[in-house]
Amino acid sequence: MNTIKGLLKLGGLMSARDMMELDEAAKLHLKHSNISFKVISIGDNTITVKAEQGKHLSENYADVKRLNTRTQELFSKFLPEHKIIVQPVPFQNAVVDEVDPKWIEQKMFTTGTRLKDIQGDTGVDKTNLSAWVNGTRPMSQPVKAMFYYYFANKK
């Protein structure tokens, strides 16, 4: 299975061995930085590649310039006669990641919202709501999203 999506599009431009080496090099980027590559299109002397970084435990994220550089270096080594056009997609935290007990407490205060109000509006029991607001139970992404969008729509 190929790490680089659309890798087979490069079949007429490089040997099977080079394709395998390119894919192995891409695996290292995926493993160490969660950067994935996708061959979008091939022109006369151009190859368009999407480079996207996902969330990674190291939280060492590449900006647009660095994604461009890494992609250029990776593909140019195997396709030196082609211009590599990069479509970089750097990692961005989800807006709901800012939600924590302190954030909820502040939103409840500024909107005059009580746990009873959230319970009535969402149908989530007060025991769970209280545990999330007090920080005694960790919040999953769906729970953070519920709180974020609940308060985003609160007048």
- List of long-range contacts for 145-148, beta carbons under 8 Å, 24+ apart: 145/96, 145/99, 146/122, 147/96, 147/99, 147/103, 147/104, 147/107, 148/95, 148/96, 148/98, 148/99
pLDDT per residue of the chain (155 residues) written in tens, 0 to 9: 589 999 999 988 999 999 999 999 999 999 999 999 999 999 989 999 999 999 888 788 999 999 999 999 999 999 999 999 999 999 988 888 889 999 999 999 999 999 999 999 999 999 999 999 999 999 999 999 999 999 998 86
The pLDDT of residue 45: 92
Pairing between strand 83-89 and 35-42?
unpaired
| pLDDT at residue 1, rounded to an integer | 57
Contact in structure between 27 and 74 (CB atoms under 8 Å): no
Write down the pLDDT at residue 153. Answer: 87
Inter-CA distances, 63 with 34, 58, 74, 126, Å: 13, 15, 17, 42
The class level of CATH for 7-89 reads alpha beta
Question: Can you tell me the distance from the alpha carbon of 99 to that of 144, in angstroms, rounded to the nearest whole number?
Answer: 6
Interatomic CA distance for residues 41 and 47, integer angstroms: 6
Phi and psi based region of residue 133 (left: phi greater than 0; alpha: psi -120 to 50; beta: remaining): alpha
- pTM for this structure? 0.69
